[in-house]
Amino acid sequence: MAKAKKTSRRKDTKPNLVDQVNERAPELDCQEQVRLLRRDLAAEQRKSAKRAAGMAEILAEVRDILDGQQFVVDIPKRPAKDRRSKREEAPVLCLGDIHGGYYWPDGEHAYSVAIAKSRVHRAIDKFTATVNDRRHSAKIEEVRLYVLGDIVEGENMRPGHPHGIEGSVLKQAVFWMPELLSSVVLRLLTEFRKIRFVAVPGNHGRNGPPKTDSHPQTNWDRVAYQTTRHIVEKAILQARGRTGGVGDRRDDVVWDLPTDRDNATEGDSWFAIDYVFDWCNCLLHGEDLRGKGWGGLPFYGIERMTRRYADIVNDPIDFMFLGHVHTDATIPSNFRTVYVNGAVESSTTYARKQLVSATHPSQKAVFFAADHGPLSVHTLWLTEDRRPHGTRITRALAKRNQ
């Protein structure tokens, strides 16, 4: 006969004092029972006080974050309709890899939330200037804003990551980046009669490193997008009927967010499909790219990904828009074209050390026409200190002689 295994009782299954009192009640007099029960009550009160203190610390941190963080939103009046009989164009503005929250204090590769905001608004300045130039020969009334992920930096993507950020992911996803994205939408509302905001999540929005047990829908980029939507829609509602002729602009911003496309159980929203005229654009972040690269770009991996997405997606893809690799490029793929967006944040220590890749920060804009598709592609460089290589060499020599 097999000997029964001896089971051990874990510490967390040990009965509390109330259970012990009940078990030993016949052995204890009333005073002893009361003493033990009072001791158990005191222990529970200490635990409760400790939990309350922890919650107080969390609430205090949230109050610190909220202090002074009020979004001042002023909805602009709808631009007048362009009644000229000119060719109609629809621009696409790509915005991605902002990595809001990444921090490098100084030097050639300095980066912060303030620098990120400055660069994004420089991209909007250059984009609107390009639009106004093209309006001399074309009618442009609607814009696509393709937000391609890694809007937040996150805080636990790799070992040591928390030491390279400016603030918690709560600040990144609920305050800093929604404020920035909302300001972009409002600036575009000044220039265009309608905006279509299409967004996909990035890998830095994940709730921790890859291969964790977090829900597939849990992504801080999604939080930033949804918070942006709440800010803009609330501001539009508040502006309705306001004196000054703002009008009702609720239908002027169309949202296509991951939360709009989610399957309730699988989070099947890592890509988006958007039609400009009859041209089919597929958007994704691009973190699943595989293969070696050259000049910071895995060309074969990108071309292979484009062909495979064209096989599994029901829509007939004409153009692919992606980010992730922090390098601006336009890549042909048979009868399709891949537009790789640059990054607002560029040349981090991780990119230079692990990927051995560095480039100037940039974003991309593509202008579509109904009959020809993309008419022009523009790289919007985001720093004003770009210099010829000869200048860099001269500067390096000057440092050597110091």
In a domain, 16, yes or no: no
Question: Of the ranges 11-25, 94-108, 345-359, which one carries the lowest mean pLDDT score?
Answer: 11-25
273 lies in a domain?
yes
CA dihedral 22, 28, 31, 32 (to 10 degrees): -80
pLDDT score of 336 more than 70: yes
CA distances from 64 to 52, 59, 114, 175, 213 (A): 18, 9, 19, 12, 30
pTM for the complete prediction? Answer: 0.78
Q: How many domains does the chain have?
A: 1
Between 4 and 124, the more confident residue is 124
Chain centroid to CA 169: 11
Query: What distances in angstroms separate CA 341 from CA 26, 152, 164, 215, one per listed residue?
Result: 77, 16, 24, 28
Mean pLDDT of 203-231: 86
Q: What angle do CA 212, 216, 220 make, to 5 degrees?
A: 90
147 lies in which domain range?
A: 87-390
Q: Would 263 be classed as within a structural domain?
A: yes
Q: What is the CATH number of the domain that holds 98?
A: 3.60.21.10
CA–CA gap between residue 178 and residue 173 (Å, rounded): 7
Supply the pLDDT for residue 89.
Answer: 96
367-394 tens-digit pLDDT: 999 999 999 999 999 987 676 767 767 7
In a domain, 68, yes or no: no
Does residue 191 form part of some domain? yes
Residue 71 domain flag: no
Residue 82 lies in a domain: no
Task: Please say if the pLDDT value at position 267 is more than 60.
Answer: no
Q: Is residue 53 part of a domain?
A: no
Q: Which residue reads 């002893």 in tokens?
A: 32
What per-residue confidence (pLDDT) applies to 257? 94
3-state helix/strand/coil string of 275-315: EECCEEEEEECCCCCCCCCECCECHHHHHHHHHHHHHHCCC
